[in-house]
């Protein structure tokens, strides 16, 4: 029987005998008693790769005195409990929230699933919660009306209730202030409150918060809504008939995914949404003419909202009809191709840093270039002053930069044939990577593959709004 030594982490275990008449799982069990690493976690390097549990020792060529290397994480030593078992329901409520692993559901107060799903998706943004916590109860900003102030406070209070409760929350205060600020959400039919459009609720709430949660906060860590959700667009407006051309800029809080027979994927829908036609008066022609508007993103947010334009007004039925077409969307969204040339230039270095960081995770060699060749030429000609700048940069704190790459963190879905009927649900990704389906007061754990099945094509829940979180690159500022 050959005798080998095994290196694990910083330790070396000499003189371990291998009984070659037994399968390798027996040898792994020996190592388990020495290291505490369970056999299923052990990766032992031998000729031809990693040692398998049922491998034939005679084919591996293990020699007497050979040194093997093992990779794996040991089990923690199990200690006897100091106290008796404690059931979750016996814990204080704030500890129950932690044990549960996700926030509470919201009671449906009568066709309010449109509101509940909107709140659950926006509640997933920690920076928004921080901004709300810093918002003053008593002091309103200049130009802020009382209804907007009250709606902001109600949003903050509802988010706080969700974080502190394991039982479903009744968002009555929020509903009342929402209807006071936006009376369309108080529409009734036969004395029953009507279902409303979740996208309209999302848009109005984000707009209100963009007016109240500005950058005037005394806390420097608090980000304004514009930085969290705002998208700056630069558009080229061109009339082929007259040759007129102009440039326009605007700020929006979502990208539109237009759906047609040619659209099968979110990327295609966004591309359609950024190129539209409009009719307006032409000064040159002296009449109405057709103009083409081609937009590009000139500034990106921390959280990117994409709305699927699934509803259109159907005159025959006098309601918003739904486009059921299946449109796939990714877990990772790269919007680089939709950016202006100016923004693309700004994104090049952070994108390279992100690639290098992700390559390093997998043990791949870093690219070593975080800028274009032109930038390299400029830096090489800068001489000693350039090296001094680098020294200063390396001594500074890391700075997070946008890359144009985003990860899906929430999906708001609709089930049914009309925006003003059917059912809305929020699907939110947790910090540990699992997904929760927030179906009003009934949260359910879901798998990632369940989220990708929400792309449409039938009467099942289909994505109406997707919320993506920016993947940041860290650099020395």
Helix or strand run (H / E) with residue 275: strand 275-282
Of the chain, the end-to-end C-alpha distance in Å amounts to 59
Catalytic annotation, pick one of 189, 272, 423, 461: 423
Q: What angle (nearest 5°) sits at the alpha carbon of residue 424, between those of residues 421 and 427?
A: 170
Q: Which long-range contacts (CB under 8 A, 24 or more apart) does 93-96 make?
A: 93/164, 93/165, 93/166, 94/164, 96/166
Alpha helices by DSSP H, listed for 70-189, are: 93-100, 113-123, 126-133, 146-164, 172-181
Q: How many helices (H) and strands (E) does the chain have?
A: 13, 23
Is residue 461 flagged as an active site residue? no
Backbone φ/ψ region at 36: left (φ over 0), alpha (ψ -120 to 50), beta: left
Q: At what angle do helices 126-133 and 113-123 cross, to 10 degrees?
A: 90
CA dist 75 and 227 (Å) reads 44
Establish whether 466 is a catalytic residue.
Answer: no
Q: In which region does residue 425 sit, left (phi positive, over 0), alpha (psi from -120 to 50) or beta (all else)?
A: beta
Nearest to 434, CA basis, from 30, 18, 102: 102
Q: How many CB atoms sit inside 10 A of residue 231's CB?
A: 21
- Give the separation between CA 348 and CA 370, rounded to whole angstroms: 7
In 3D space, the residue among 83, 393, 118 whose CA is nearest the CA of residue 254 turns out to be 118
Cα dihedral 173, 176, 182, 184, rounded to 10, equals 140
Q: Out of 102, 113, 201, 339, which one is annotated catalytic?
A: 113
φ/ψ bin of 360: left (φ > 0), alpha (ψ from -120 to 50), beta (otherwise): alpha
- How many whole angstroms separate alpha carbon 54 and alpha carbon 325? 50
Among candidate residues 235, 237, 244, 236, the one with its CA nearest the CA of residue 285: 244
Length of the chain: 477
- Determine the 3-state secondary structure of 371 from DSSP: coil
For residues 436 and 445, the answer to whether their CB atoms sit within 8 Å is yes
Pick from 274, 257, 275: nearest CA to 266: 257
Q: Give the residue carrying structure tokens 């109240």.
A: 212
Q: How far apart are CA 458 and CA 368, in angstroms?
A: 48
Whether the CB-CB separation of 127 and 209 falls below 8 Å is answered with: no
For residue 369, what are its two tokens? 């270039």
Q: Which residues are identified as catalytic?
A: 113, 423
């Amino acid at each position: 029987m050959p005798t080998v030594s095994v290196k694990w982490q910083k330790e070396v275990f000499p003189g371990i005998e291998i009984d070659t008449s037994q399968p390798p799982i027996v040898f792994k069990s020996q190592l388990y008693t020495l290291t505490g690493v369970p056999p299923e976690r052990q990766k032992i390097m031998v000729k031809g790769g990693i040692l398998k549990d049922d491998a034939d020792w005679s084919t591996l060529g293990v020699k007497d005195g050979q040194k093997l290397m093992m990779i794996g994480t040991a089990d923690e030593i199990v200690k006897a409990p100091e106290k008796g078992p404690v059931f979750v329901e016996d814990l204080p409520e704030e500890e129950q929230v932690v044990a549960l692993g996700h926030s509470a559901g919201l009671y449906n107060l009568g066709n309010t699933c449109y509101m509940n799903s909107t709140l659950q998706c926006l509640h997933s943004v920690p920076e928004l919660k921080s901004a709300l916590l810093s918002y003053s109860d008593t002091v309103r900003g200049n130009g802020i009306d009382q209804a907007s102030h009250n709606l902001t406070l109600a949003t903050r209070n509802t988010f706080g209730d969700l974080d502190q409760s394991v039982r479903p929350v009744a968002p009555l205060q929020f509903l009342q202030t929402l209807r006071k600020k936006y009376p369309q959400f108080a529409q009734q039919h036969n004395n029953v409150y009507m279902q409303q459009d979740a996208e309209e609720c999302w848009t109005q709430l984000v707009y209100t918060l963009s007016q109240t949660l500005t950058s005037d906060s005394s806390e420097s860590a608090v980000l304004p809504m514009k930085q969290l959700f705002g998208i700056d667009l630069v558009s080229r407006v061109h009339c082929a008939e007259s040759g007129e051309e102009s440039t326009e800029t605007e700020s929006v809080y979502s990208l539109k995914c237009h759906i047609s027979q040619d659209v099968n994927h979110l990327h295609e829908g966004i591309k359609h949404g950024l190129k539209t036609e409009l009719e307006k008066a032409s000064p040159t022609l002296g009449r109405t003419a057709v103009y083409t508007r081609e937009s590009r993103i000139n500034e990106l947010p921390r959280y990117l909202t994409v709305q699927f334009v699934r509803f259109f007004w159907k005159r025959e039925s006098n309601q918003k009809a739904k486009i059921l077409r299946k449109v796939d969307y990714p877990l990772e969204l790269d919007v680089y191709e939709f950016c202006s040339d100016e923004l693309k230039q700004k994104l090049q270095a952070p994108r390279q840093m992100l690639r290098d960081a992700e390559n390093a995770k997998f043990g791949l060699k870093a690219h070593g270039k975080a800028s274009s060749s032109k930038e390299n030429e400029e830096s090489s000609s800068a001489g000693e002053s350039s090296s001094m700048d680098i020294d200063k940069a390396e001594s500074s704190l890391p700075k997070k930069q946008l890359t144009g790459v985003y990860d899906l963190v929430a999906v708001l879905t609709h089930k049914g044939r009309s925006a003003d009927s059917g059912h809305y649900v929020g699907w939110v990704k947790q910090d540990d990577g699992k997904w929760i389906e927030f179906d009003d007061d009934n949260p359910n754990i879901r798998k990632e593959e369940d989220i990708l099945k929400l792309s449409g094509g039938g009467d099942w829940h289909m994505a109406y709004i997707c919320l993506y979180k920016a993947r940041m690159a860290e650099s020395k500022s």
